[in-house]
Structure 1
């Protein structure tokens, strides 16, 4: 099943049960569309799903974060998936991305902004065939 939407209700519920000062690392499991599928295809030049996500979406996301005054975001790792050693065969991923935020509220501030909806979200939606976004906190 294709999933590419962030649930604001789930984000809010998680914020309410977490320590508000805890840094959070988001695990992104991504499967790209071979070609980015923009709703407004006249507005954007053709590119791969990977380019739409890693270049266009990431650039827009970082600019929005800066505009919101959130500068402590760190991309910890971006990697190509080479093989599934344990897991469901019907869930195949092209890449994983680990991004650290100062807290979950910072992530929410970015992703619920009107600027995100206008400038970043179109690239994410065009880029991704499927996606899992998992919030984690350090155990040690």
Structure 2
């Protein structure tokens, strides 16, 4: 079952479980659609999933930085050594935020929310794992 966007319940669980006011790392695993899956009524010209993700990233990266965060690692995924056979990823991002609150505030930002149309069209599946960095 593809996972593209967090549900209200998942966001609530995240807010309850992550230590408030402490830095977090968000591990993103991304699998792109060959062709972006925009809703018909969106009016967006056809493009690849990677191109649609680049559209999202232009806004998302700016919003990450405005929230006090930064991309720590961006890499192309090559081979899954330990994973279910059907679980393959195209890219991995590790993004640092100053706190869970900063991350949630970014998600609530109107401009960021509008850009998620491109993210949803770009991806066939994703994972987003909240981590606490060790000192």
TM-score by length of 2: 0.88
Question: Matches of 1:87 and 1:126 in 2, distance apart?
Answer: 25
Q: Would the alpha carbon gap of residues 61 and 93 (structure 1) be closer, same or farther in structure 2, given more than 3 Å must change?
A: same
Which stretch shifts more, 6-15 or 121-130?
Answer: 6-15
Assess if the C-alpha contact under 8 Å between 2:28 and 2:94 holds in 1.
yes
Q: Deviations for 1:31-67, whole angstroms, at most 9, x for unmatched residues? A: 00011111146632332111211x211112234456x
Counterpart pick for 2:74 among 59, 71, 78: 78
2:110 corresponds to: 114
- CA RMSD in angstroms, aligned pairs only: 1.9
* Structure 2 segments unaligned to the other structure (5+ residues): none
Question: Matches of 2:64 and 2:131 in 1, distance apart?
Answer: 20
Residue 44 of structure 1: SS of its match in structure 2?
Answer: coil
2:60 corresponds to: 61
Q: Does 1:96 align with 2:95?
A: no
Q: Deviations for 1:65-123, whole angstroms, at most 9, x for unmatched residues? A: 56xx52x21111111111111111121111111111111111111112333332x1100
Q: Would the alpha carbon gap of residues 115 and 78 (structure 1) be closer, same or farther in structure 2, given more than 3 Å must change?
A: same
Q: Would the alpha carbon gap of residues 108 and 89 (structure 1) be closer, same or farther in structure 2, given more than 3 Å must change?
A: same
Q: How many residues align?
A: 135
Question: Matches of 1:17 and 1:95 in 2, distance apart?
Answer: 26
2:30 corresponds to: 30
Which stretch shifts more, 88-97 or 108-117?
Answer: 108-117
